[in-house]
Amino acid sequence: MDFNNLKFPFRYQLSAQEISTLKWLAYARGAHKASWGPRFTKATDMTPDEVVSCKSHYMGLAGEYVTAKLTGGFFDPMPTFLGDNDRADIRVGKTGKIACKTTKYNPPHLKLTSMKEVEDASHISLCLFQEPTVTVYWIRSKDYFMNNFYTHDYGYGTRYCLQ
């Protein structure tokens, strides 16, 4: 699978409806993970940890959504209680599996906590989220990543990185 024919960076502006839907999905995916118990409350009742969890899920969903649009792939927005177990986020064709990583920091660079995050993937994408715009900076093969990553400790443990 080759994504070299795509033009990067690819910028996409989310509509109000897309933003609303992605935020709702992020709440469904993330609020319970902060407290590990079911909570059916309104957003104003969320704990600070739940708010952070929902924001990070929202960023991730936005990156997955736009990367799937760009590649013609499929991402499963369905919330699962225990998460995705680090499986690739997007399926493209019969063999393409993209692990999509999204950051709010500009310029973006990839930081993985564990290699398990890309174990299932054939490719990795890096996105920058600045609401309402999502920018897909690149999609690289896992082989490229494995041959070019470097490690760095930002003060909270070693990360596997790629510019």
3-class DSSP assignment, residue 39: coil
- State mean pLDDT over 4-12: 96
Report which of residues 54 and 75 the model is more confident about: 75
Instruction: Tell me the pLDDT band of 162, cut-offs 50, 70 and 90.
Output: very high
Residue 107 lies in a domain: yes
Residue 41 has a pLDDT of: 47
Residue 1 lies in a domain: no
Number of domain units in the chain: 1
Report which of residues 38 and 35 the model is more confident about: 35
Residue 81 pLDDT exceeds 70: no
Residue 5 lies in a domain: no
Residue 151 lies in a domain: yes
pTM of the predicted protein model:
0.87
CA distance 7 to 137: 9
Residue 113 lies in a domain: yes
CA distance 97 to 155: 31
Reading the block at residue 163, the tokens are: 């510019």
Reading phi first (left if > 0) and then psi (alpha if -120 to 50, else beta), residue 76 is in beta
Q: Which one-letter amino acid corresponds to residue 162? A: L
Enclosing domain of residue 132: 10-162
Residue 123 has a pLDDT of: 97
- State mean pLDDT over 113-130: 96
